[in-house]
Structure formats: C-alpha cells, structure tokens
Structure 1
Amino acid sequence: MDLPGALYVPTTADGFEATEFAATEFQATEFQATALTIGPWDPAFQHAGPPAALLARAAERASGIEGGQTVRLAYDILGPVPVGPMRISTEVLRPGRRIELLEAVLSGADDRPLMRLTAWRMRVRDDGATPVDAPPVPVPAGPEQSRPESAAFFTQEIAYHRALDWRFAAGSFNAPGPAAAWTRPQCTLVEGEPMSPLEHLLVMTDAASGISAALDWQAATFANVDLTVALHRPPRGEWLGMDARTVLGDSGAAQAFAVLFDAEGAIGRSAQSLFVEAR
C-alpha cells in the first residue's frame, strides 16, 4: 500500500506546494491535507487528531518561552474540517517570561474558523527542588507485547487509521468498551520535518472516543465537539499510549476520558464531549 509520507503538505499563499527548502525558511501557515487525515464519519472531512496536532505545532512555534512546556491544550471543534487547503493563525493572548497563553485558529478555504486551540505554556525548571510524581504506566503490557490491530470501520483504505501503528494492550478498535492502546507514527505531521512527541500525542489522543466506543459505529454517531489535554510533563519516546473509557449519558451526550502515557509512565489526561445521535 502506497501511503502519503505526511499528514500535511505546506503550501504558499497562492496554494502551490512549497519546496522542501522553502518550507524550512518560513513559518508555513497554509497547508494541504493528505488522505491520511480522512476521518471515519465522512471521507470529505478530517479526523480531528491531525488538525489538533497541527494547531499545537503552531502554538509552540509562536511561543515566547524558549524550551518551554505545553501543559494544557483546549480545543473547540467549530465545524468539520475538510480534507483540503487550510490556514492557521496564531496570537499570544497572555505573554510572559514564565507563563503564557496562546491561541491558534484553523480556517478553511472560505476563511471560516473550524477549530480553535488555547494552550497554556510554562517555563521548564529542573533544579530538583520540586518533588516528582511519577505515576506508573497504567497498562500491563508494553507495545511489543500488545496486539496489532487496524480499525475496520473506516470506509477508505487510506485514512487516519493508517497514520499510526496501533497496538492494543486491552480492548479493541472493533468492539465496544474501554480500551488501552500504544501507538507510534507511520508518517510525519508536516512534510519535510519530524513529528515531535507532543504532535504525535495530539494525532493519537482525539481517537480516545473511537477506541473506547460505547455504541455500534453502524447504529450511531458520536463525534466530539471538543478535546482537552492536561499534561504534568511532556511526552517522550517513540511509543505513546492511552487508556480510554467512554461514559454515556441519558440525554444524547457522552464523555470520553483517557489516561495518557509513554514508556516511562503516565503523563496526563484527556477529556472529550460527544454529541450522540442515531444514524
């Protein structure tokens, strides 16, 4: 199977693909999505994981705290993101040398905002003065001992589920109920540059509600309208994971929660609000 090498290709303001040299010379704000961003609900629209990672990348590049850490990312999904051209704008909402708040907004070809991120970033301190809380990895098996699996509910052969190598320590993509999985990237986020661990984490984490689905994909839709990620330390390493659970309400809403981790232990948590509707 011939997969795209990246989730996004940088473009110039005129919509032409930027050369690899040009992409390293300017802060690209316009991108073309590849087929690897296609989501499960409609092949014309992206899974929210890749654009979440692209917004996190933009926020970190706009940061004034060199070498800082992103500790909270709050996303509002204002509308479906088409598999096509898009533009990202950034703004520092609260500047500071130790703490700052940034905003990154993704707009479609018609300039309508489709996804918004606010991100708190902090300076990094490593002076040994603060006691370290190191929660263990919450799953019994590592990636090598976990089960490889591919999602059966995507309608396209090349789509989001091919962007990561999925290994399940518990549960399944293809059966309802809580699940825990490890992932590693099978592509880059932006063509011509490596995917950072934080970007990898965001590509993965929006799938928490998918791997822990409480309803049959054929009978209901349960798309999320937001995503919040809170981290007590940055992710590290090639393999990242999540232990996810979806809780259904009785009025058409649900919440998906996940513990996020790397090979060294737990690193934070995520939460998603789901809009549930019968197909």
Structure 2
Amino acid sequence: MAIFEPLAAPNHWKPSALAAGPFPGLQGGAVASLLAAEVEAMASRRNWGTAISAAAWFLRPTPMAELRTQLAVVTEGGRISVVDNTLWPVGEDEPCATVRVTLARERAVEVPGFREQAADAIDPSQFPLRSPHAVHGRSWFMDAMEARAGGDAAWFRMRDNVIAGAGPLAGVLGPADWTHGIGRPVQNVVADPNPNLTVQLFRSPRGAWVGVRAETSWRPEAGLGVGSGVLLDVYGEIGRVSMSVILVPFSRTVPA
C-alpha cells in the first residue's frame, strides 16, 4: 500500500489516511517525501544520479484532499542537478509546500590514507516499541512506520512506501521529520511544528531502518527553536537533518 496513490491526471495524487499529521492537514514529512520521490523518479529517467539533499518548506497546512505537483529543473548537467517540486490542492492557486532536491552523479576519488571504518550491524527490532498516537485519535503518518528507541537513537522502519517505487531520499525524509520531537527539552507543554526540513545524505541507507540521533534547543521567550540530528542506518551514519521550530500553545491550530 502506498501513502499517496496516483490519479488519472499526471502529477495528481490522493493521500491516504496515513498521510495525516497530528493536527489538521497532512504530516510535513509525508508531503516532503512525496515531492522528493517524484524528483527521484525523474532522476532515474534523466540520469541525474543520486539525490543527496532535500530542503523542504511547509508554506501552509496541506489538506486531506486531491493534490497536484509541478516539477521545475533549476539546473541540469555536469555532475550536479537541482530540481524544485511544488504542491497545491487541486483547484487552488496558493501552494502548500515546496522541496528543492540536489542530485549528484557519484564519482570515485582516491584519498591516500583514508579508510572508512567498518561497523557491525545493529538490530533495532530488539529495542522497545514506541506507538505514539495523534491528538485527533485517527490514523496518521506515524502509523505508516514501526518506531523503536534504543541506545542513543530513535529508529523508524516504513511499513508503507510514500508512493510506489519511492527512492532512498524519500524514505529518509519521513523519519527525519520527527527529529525535533524526539529531542524535545520538555514534553507535552506546547506544540512545536517545523516550517522547514533539510536533509543531507552522503550515502543511501542500507536496509529498511533509519535512525535519528537527535537534539533540540528551544527559546520560549521568542517562541522559536531548532532541531537537528545525525541520520543512521544499521551500519552507522548516513547524513544529517535540521529544521526550525515554532512554539505555539496546544489550543491553536498549527500546521503538521
């Protein structure tokens, strides 16, 4: 099962209940994953190489409605390509989110004396299971993944693809979007949506598990914060994540 199903018109999508966030609208990580997955699919056809980073901006809440996307190539050729992908509800002119994806063709470089450290694989399925529920009590994006916590990281394994054939970066963005919540300095006090999300990868994850070693800093007097973390697979580090955080009272409706 895919979290977003294609409609008859090109670049039109219907979100399932698993795309929902904890507040009205869709989860930002689900939206960013959809947009990145479309770029990765185009990259495989255009020989752009591997998606190495995504910078997402959540401009307003994305409704549980039919959606359309539009890709725009910023630059193409040589070793690096950059592609934007933007999302709107069908029938509306104001966008809800946009993602800029950077892609690179891999090319081996000899560095004398450099040796990548080998690490034994860990098994996150042995860590305690976490099953957080949304405040609305319905299905949401967290239900699309298995979540566990152990050692110094939180671990996620997607049960459902964001779209059929989604690429590695799309599979990382969903778990990465929880970073600021994993490292909250105080729990259950305020809502802390992230209006943006940035992920950089230096290699694709091996296996289905994505881990986040997270930290978050808040500045309540300004209602602001940041979240960041090291991204992992079962063999070690694969990249980094960061986002801004907006602190608001629970009573307000906030973007997911």
TM tier, smaller: 0.7 to 0.9
Aligned to 1:254: 225
Change (3 A) 1:33 1:39: same
Query: Which of 196, 209, 223 is the equivalent residue of 1:239?
Result: 209
For residues 166 and 84 of structure 2, the distance between their equivalents in structure 1, rounded to whole angstroms, comes to 21
Change (3 A) 1:153 1:189: closer
Query: Which of 182, 190, 203 is the equivalent residue of 1:220?
Result: 190
Q: Which amino acid aligns with 2:174?
A: V
Aligned to 2:93: 111
CA contact (8 A) 1:81 1:108 kept: yes
Deviation at 1:97, TM superposition (A): 2.9
Q: Deviation per CA, 1:203-241, whole angstroms, max 9, x where unpaired?
A: 211111222233333x31111111011112222211111
> Is 1:183 the counterpart of 2:156 in the alignment?
yes
> Is 1:274 the counterpart of 2:245 in the alignment?
yes
**Structure 1: 5+ residue runs without aligned partners?**
14-27, 171-178
Following superposition of structure 1 onto structure 2, how do residues 1-279 of structure 1 map, counting pairs within 5 Å? 5-13=1-9, 28-42=10-24, 45-63=25-43, 66=47, 68-109=49-90, 110-126=92-108, 129-130=110-111, 134=116, 142-170=123-151, 180-190=153-163, 193-217=164-188, 219-249=189-219, 250-279=221-250
CA contact (8 A) 2:122 2:235 kept: no
Deviation at 1:168, TM superposition (A): 0.7
For residues 40 and 136 of structure 1, the distance between their equivalents in structure 2, rounded to whole angstroms, comes to 39
Moved more, 67-76 or 262-271: 67-76
For residues 21 and 116 of structure 2, the distance between their equivalents in structure 1, rounded to whole angstroms, comes to 34
Change (3 A) 1:135 1:79: farther
For residues 134 and 142 of structure 1, the distance between their equivalents in structure 2, rounded to whole angstroms, comes to 21
Change (3 A) 1:130 1:115: farther
TM-score w.r.t. structure 1 length? 0.80
Deviation at 1:135, TM superposition (A): 6.9
CA contact (8 A) 2:48 2:80 kept: no
Deviation at 1:265, TM superposition (A): 1.2
Q: Deviation per CA, 1:142-195, whole angstroms, max 9, x where unpaired?
A: 30321111003442342111100111115xxxxxxxx721111111212xx244
CA contact (8 A) 1:135 1:265 kept: no
Change (3 A) 1:124 1:65: farther
CA contact (8 A) 1:65 1:123 kept: no
For residues 136 and 41 of structure 1, the distance between their equivalents in structure 2, rounded to whole angstroms, comes to 42
Deviation at 1:116, TM superposition (A): 0.9
For residues 84 and 168 of structure 1, the distance between their equivalents in structure 2, rounded to whole angstroms, comes to 33
For residues 89 and 186 of structure 2, the distance between their equivalents in structure 1, rounded to whole angstroms, comes to 31
SS in 2 for 1:6: coil
CA contact (8 A) 2:162 2:170 kept: yes
Q: Which amino acid aligns with 1:61?
A: A
TM-score w.r.t. structure 2 length? 0.87
**Structure 2: 5+ residue runs without aligned partners?**
251-256
SS in 2 for 1:93: strand
Q: Deviation per CA, 1:40-73, whole angstroms, max 9, x where unpaired?
A: 123xx01111111111112223337526112221
SS in 2 for 1:220: coil
Moved more, 151-160 or 101-110: 151-160
Q: Which amino acid aligns with 1:233?
A: R
For residues 115 and 241 of structure 2, the distance between their equivalents in structure 1, rounded to whole angstroms, comes to 18
